[in-house]
Every structure is written in structure tokens, then in C-alpha cells.
Amino acid sequence: MLKKRVWVSLFLAALLLITACSNGGESSETPESTTAGGNNESAGNELKPAKLKIVLYGEESPRMKELAKAEFKDIVKKEINADIEFQFIPWTEYGGGKTDLMLSTGEDFATYTDTNYMVKSVAKGLYADLTPYMGTVAEDMIKTVDENSFKAFQLGGKQYAVPVGNKPNSGEFYSVLVRQDLLEEVGMGSVSSLAELEQFYDKVHAAHPDLIGYASTDARRMLMYEYTDKNLYWQNDFLAIDESADNDQIISWFESEEFKAYSGLMRGWYEKGIIPKYAATNTPQLQSDWNSGKAMFWAGTAARPFEGAATISQAVPGAKLTNYFLSKDLPKISRGTYSTAWFVSANAADPERYVMFFNLLQKNQELYDLFAYGIPDKDYTLDENGRLTRNTTDSLIPDWLLMNKNFIRFDKSVPDDFIAKYKAWDDEAIISKGAGFNFDNTPVKNEETKINGVFSEFLAPIASGFLDYEENFPRALEKLKAAGFDAYIAEYQKQFSEWYAAK
């Protein structure tokens, strides 16, 4: 798929990025190359009409609804002669639910995926093969999205999803994202250990008993440096690998001593109130509490300090967010630089036109600005250094989805030193030794279905601290084994070892 010309394109893209950074973040492309019509305008007119449905998750903002019917619709029509419809559905429907229903009933649409969901769906014949279009209509995207990101969404040498985004991703969810304003309010400057994080909770809870502690129920990555010397990276909810070991060994997470130690930490958090009691029956409320400034900390990523602050500051002016690693002495792990990847349903009438649309999202600065930020001088303004000021707080196509270091605009409120740290975030990271491996679950798909049921009913409550490990794990393990877990892990190990040996 990616020939020698791609390496030249990537090199040129890197030069453009360096030039853009030296010019305060502004693109160094010529006006002719960055116009929204660009060189594709005539090509768009020559294409036969097409209809596209793009599914996004979450709530559609009023401004997004306006742009979807006007400027977004117009530019897609002009560029690729397609009528586009954006449909929003709840996040609870991602990777299953309504998404599965739309696929199984043959709807014509595209949305985003992860590697695990991709493998399951491809095995059922639900995703279109996009390989034929990658060397032609995805050429602009290939220049601005990392090559390894494309490989992550290939199966058997075929491209079943198109990556989007190009950003520092290492250590994703391994840091703790702290409300720095609260930390400083209680007389603390930083957090570097579990003991200090719990001290932070105690002090803030005494001052603000209405706030919750952790706005999630999964902290296995964030707390990893506290309960193991291994550099664990999870392949899925059940299996992990040790990035510090030079081997292909798959680790059964729930059968490990590390899980026992971790579940004890989470049980302590639940009993202490760091994880609120309502989380056991109303997990989505945790996200709402975080967004409204009612939580003290969350799992972090390189970008979350400025992504999250934009939302929280609406409810809590002056809120500040900072990433910290707890007792960290291991290198950060990266799966690649993509945000997510787009798939096209198998029954789509024109999958090539969908790929043309994906290409528009990461094509050039002007189009990126349009889809991410809206209309200049109406939705946002730029200063002489390319710094962004939003005139509306409504989200459009989600920032996290599009985020590409070649085009991203930083708000004026983001400090220069943070931008420097963000751009250097991946400098000492290692690529996971499992990056690019995709498990074919066909031989054990029945076992996998049963295992997922055991996870939801028995294992997830223990992992989240809702149930005591000693009292409940023996029965959960019995159920896991009865569901065929040994056959599942044996098949996974077999495929991974074969892939690892050939890599």
C-alpha cells in the first residue's frame, strides 16, 4: 500500500511541520494548496453524486447541527460531490448495540472503530475492504498520518479501517490527570506516588465534601507503577504483555498476582469513597461529574490537560489540569499516533467516496480548521501567532478525533511550556511489541462471547473494587474457565507467537 513515494511524502510532511512550528503554528503551504476547493474542485464536479452517512458518538451541539446542514455539507459537495449526513448516537452504542444493529441490517454508513472491534466485525463480513482506494484517494491523508497507524488497522494485508489523527499517544491513561487548582488550594504542589494521591483526596474531601475522587472505574494503567515492576500493556480486558521482557509471552491478567494486588487497591478506593458508591450502578455519571468540575482526578493522556480544561472551565473558571505519573521508572508505551480509525459498512454503495471524505478531514490546514473549529471570525479567531480563540464553546467534529500535530491550533490559554512538553511527550517512548497485531477470533468466537459475559457479570465488579477479591474471585475464575478461557488464551498465544516470530 505504501510505496517509496510515501516515504518522500512523509519526509516532506515533517519538513512542513517543522516550518509551521517555526512560524507560530501557521501552515507553510501556498494559498493555492490550502484553499478548500484546492485541486480537487474539478475532480469533485466530475464524480457522480453520492450519499454518505457519518455516525458520531455523543451529543450533537446546536452549532454542529447548523454547520452540518450548511458549510460542512457545502464543502463536501464541492470537494467530492457527495451529500453528507451526520448522525449522532450515544456512546453506549459504540462497539455494539445500535452500531452492531446498523451493520447487521446492512445500513450504508461509516464510523470509527478500535482494533478489537474491527477484528470481530471483519470476521462477520461487516466491514468493507478499503485497500483499493488507499493509493489514490487517500494520498493527502497518507502524508499527514503516520505509516504505522495504517498498519494497525490491516488484516491479512488488507486495509479495513482508515486511521485518523496524528498525535502523541504514549502512556495513554497511565498518568493521573489532577485538578491542579485543587491541589494547590490544599497546599500541595505535585503528586508522585499513590500515598500522595490519596493525601490529595483526603485534603480536598475535607475542604469540598461534595466532590468525588476518581472519575472512572478503571485505574489498572494509572496505578501500574505501584503494584508491579513489569511494564504491562493490555491487549484487551483479559490479556496483557510485559514490554520490559524480551519474549512473546501473553499474560492472563485476571489470573496474575498483579491483578490480585490491583483489585485490592481498587477495593480500598471504593470503601474509602475515592470511587463513589453510585459508580456501581451508574458509571456514566462519573463522566458527567468530571466534565462539570465535580471530580478531583481522572486518567490522563498527553492532550487531556488542554482538552479537559476547555470543558471544565465552563463550570469552574480557573480550573487547571496537570498530568502526573505515580512512582514511574519505566518507559512510556505507545500503540501508535492515531486517535481512532474509520470503517465503512460492507453494504456501502460507494466506499471509495467515504475514503475521499476521510481524506478531507486530514488534507490541509484550511479544511482541518473548518471541521475542527468552524468558520473563521464567527466560530473562532486566530492571533498573529496562530493561537486560537473560540467564539463558541459548542463542539463540532470532536477535537480528540481529528487531532493532528500537523494542523492542531492551541488556545491562547495554553502555556508555551505545555505545548513544548506536549510535542516532546513521545520522545522517550517505546512502541509496543504487540503494535500491529490483530487477533482473529474465528476459532474461539463462541468462547469469547461467553468470556465477555463472565467479564461483565463477575470480573469487572471485582476489578472496579465493587466486590472483594478474596470473597468473589474463586467463583469468577471458575466461571471464566467454564466459558472456555484456556482455549481462548491458547489460541491467542498461538497467533501472537506466530506473528511475533515473523515480525
How much is the pLDDT for 279?
96
Which of 12-16, 256-260, 343-347 is predicted with the least confidence, judged by mean pLDDT?
12-16
Average pLDDT over residues 132-136: 93
Going by the DSSP 8-state scheme, the letter that residue 404 receives in this structure is: B
**Alpha carbons 417 and 406: distance in angstroms, whole number:** 18
In this prediction, residue 392 has a pLDDT band, given cuts at 50, 70 and 90, of confident
Fold match flag (4-166+336-410 vs 175-334): yes
Kindly tell me the burial class for residue 414, based on how many C-beta atoms sit within 10 Å of its own C-beta (0-12, 13-18, 19 or more): middle
Q: Which positions ≥6 away from 138 have C-beta within 8 Å?
A: 162, 355, 358, 359
CB 310 within 8 A of CB 252: no
Is residue 75 a contact partner of residue 39, using CB atoms and an 8 Å limit? no
Strands in 345-390 per DSSP E: 380-382, 388-390
Put simply, whether the predicted model's pTM sits higher than 0.85 gets the answer no
Average pLDDT in the 257-268 region?
A: 98
Q: Are 250 and 241 in contact (CB under 8 A)?
A: yes
pLDDT of residue 45: 65
Residue % of the chain over a pLDDT of 90: 72
Residue 62: predicted pLDDT: 96
Compute and round to an integer the Cα radius of gyration of the chain. Answer: 23
Neighbours of 181 (CB within 10 A): 18
Residue 30 has pLDDT above 70, yes or no: no
Q: What is the pLDDT of residues 421-443, one digit of tens each?
A: 888 899 889 989 998 888 888 89
Q: How far is CA 448 from CA 208, 233, 441, 473, 486, in A?
A: 44, 20, 8, 19, 11
Phi, psi dihedrals of residue 351, rounded to the nearest 5°: -60, -30
Cα–Cα distance between 241 and 437 in angstroms, integer?
12
CATH superfamily of 175-334: Periplasmic binding protein-like II (3.40.190.10)
Rounded Cα gap, residues 480 and 253, in angstroms? 12
DSSP assignment of 121-171, as one string?
Answer: HHHTT-B---HHHHTTTTHHHHHHS-HHHHHTTEETTEE-SEEE-B---TT
Phi then psi dihedrals of residue 145, to 5 deg: -120, 135
CA distance 349 to 356: 14
Q: Are 137 and 82 in contact (CB under 8 A)?
A: no
By C-alpha distance, which of 431, 5, 473 is closest to 253? 473
Q: What residues contact residue 26 under an 8 Å CB cut-off, 6+ apart?
A: 20, 365, 386
Q: Say which range, 83-92, 337-346, 423-432, has the weakest mean pLDDT.
A: 423-432
Angle between helix axes 469-482 and 257-272 (nearest 10 degrees) is 130
Q: Would you kindly state where each structural domain of the chain is located, as residue ranges? A: 4-166+336-410, 175-334, 442-502
Span 312-327, average pLDDT: 91
The per-residue pLDDT for 49 is 95
pLDDT at 444 over 60: yes
What is the CATH code of the structural domain delimited by 4-166+336-410? 3.40.190.10
- Please check whether residue 149 is in contact with residue 407, taking contact to mean a CB–CB distance below 8 angstroms: no
- Which cell numbers in the block locate residue 263? 483489585
DSSP per-residue string spanning 257-296: HHHHHHHHHHHHHHHHTSS-GGGGT-THHHHHHHHTT-EE
